[in-house]
Structure 1
Amino acid sequence: MNAPVRRRGADLEHAIFAATLEQLADHGMAGLTFENVAAAAGAGKASLYRRWTDPEQLVLAALAWTEDTAERSDHPGGTRLQPVGDLRDELIAFLSDLADGLTTPVGRVLAPLLLERERRPEMWQRIVALLIEPRQRLVTEAFGRAAARGEIPSSAVSPSRVSAGAALVLARHLTTGPLSRDDIVEVVDDVVLPARWR
């Protein structure tokens, strides 16, 4: 019988991160332990304790890994917004990517992480900086380009309008499940962009 292959370096970390997301989705932060993650990853507990001091640090590292992976993949999870010269088209593509991203392992951990906002405010602020603020900046920039083209009034570039699309996509995903492209078009046309701008 062959001995199990020992993972090292990046392979080991990736296995740990994937196991972390799986354990977090299934058990929440309260049930996330180094012991359970190590067992799920096929790693030794010592390999986790050498890298991270507590589960919060491990979760943040796993989320950063998923962001980096998404940016380099064909399914960016809302990490990119391609300028095409039309705000509606840009938002539909961006929110479709975001909706796709919510079906990945990261999407499964959003609900348990939301429950930690009050209990772990420092961790939540780091999650906001890692996952939410970069996407808001992309949408803000898209609105700014549209205003510069005269496509929309400059007054339209407001925090509420910038966050409305992504917030609704997330809320509907968490309550009713994954969104279709038709759902995304409805969000953009009925909520984000008033008819007089289209």
Structure 2
Amino acid sequence: MATPKTRRRGTELEEAILHAAADELAEAGYPGLTMERVAQRAGTNKNAIYRRWPNRAALGVAAYRRLAADTLEPPDTGNLRDDALALLRAINCGQTSPAARVLRGLLTGVGEEPELREQLHQHAAEGGTKPWLEIVGRAVSRGEVHPGARHPRVATVALVLLRNEFLTRGLTTVDDDVLVEIVDEVYLPLIGA
């Protein structure tokens, strides 16, 4: 006699849903992401998804966060210039990763869905800032920069300039000399290094 299949709950079910949503995003992009397809792929029903994520935009961003969660570890080289360059280089190389492809797909959907725009804006404010605040915080502790550099808008200027290169030029990677220029000509002078 076959043993009855146990029902997944809690974290196990959430992980299955996020994994399914990430796979759907990677295969079909944001336009092809549907609650029905994610539910089918995760082996659950739409109600289980809607109890955790109120709409497709929230699910898409949560799936992206899952993909991107472990990809950006703040470097600790002992000086801000090398930390900033290492961080920019990691982001630059990561632009061809599955997480980056998913993010580009999400970004193309923002014009059609204000909820997605808000979710992505919130994620960018939360996720992109943390490693920069960490490397700048260490630089402040070492006396390399003034404490005001810990402000999120100041700490993330190099990231914003890199994103600008991607968005305005339609690039998936930027030449290394551009990264060096961002750090040496703008970032370090701005934060007082």
- Native 8 Å contact 2:68 2:99 kept in 1: no
User: Among residues 153, 178, 187, which one is paired with 1:183 in the alignment?
Assistant: 178
What SS does structure 1 have at the residue aligned with 2:48? coil
Inter-CA distance 89–57: structure 2 relative to 1 (3 Å threshold):
same
Specify the alignment match of 2:126 in structure 1: 133
Specify the alignment match of 1:110 in structure 2: 103
Q: Which residues in structure 2 correspond to 1:1-198 (within 5 Å)? A: 14-24=19-29, 28-29=30-31, 31-34=32-35, 37=37, 43=40, 47=44, 49-53=46-50, 54-68=55-69, 71=70, 76=71, 79-115=72-108, 117=110, 120-174=113-167, 175-194=170-189
The CA distance in 2 between the partners of 1:195 and 1:17, in whole Å, is 38
> What is the Cα deviation at residue 63 of structure 1?
1.4
Which TM-score applies when normalising by structure 2?
0.69
Inter-CA distance 119–143: structure 2 relative to 1 (3 Å threshold):
same
The CA distance in 2 between the partners of 1:122 and 1:33, in whole Å, is 15
The CA distance in 1 between the partners of 2:87 and 2:155, in whole Å, is 12
> What is the Cα deviation at residue 150 of structure 1?
1.7
Inter-CA distance 171–51: structure 2 relative to 1 (3 Å threshold):
farther
The CA distance in 2 between the partners of 1:57 and 1:46, in whole Å, is 20
Which TM-score applies when normalising by structure 1?
0.68
Inter-CA distance 17–195: structure 2 relative to 1 (3 Å threshold):
closer
What SS does structure 2 have at the residue aligned with 1:92? helix
Unpaired runs of 5+ in structure 1? 1-7
- Native 8 Å contact 2:34 2:56 kept in 1: yes
Deviations along 1:117-162, whole A, 9 cap, x unmatched?
5764454444344344233132123222212322123344444332
Unpaired runs of 5+ in structure 2? 1-7
Inter-CA distance 22–168: structure 2 relative to 1 (3 Å threshold):
farther
Inter-CA distance 193–14: structure 2 relative to 1 (3 Å threshold):
same
> What is the Cα deviation at residue 107 of structure 1?
1.8
Inter-CA distance 50–150: structure 2 relative to 1 (3 Å threshold):
same
Letter in 2 for 1:59: G
Inter-CA distance 55–128: structure 2 relative to 1 (3 Å threshold):
same
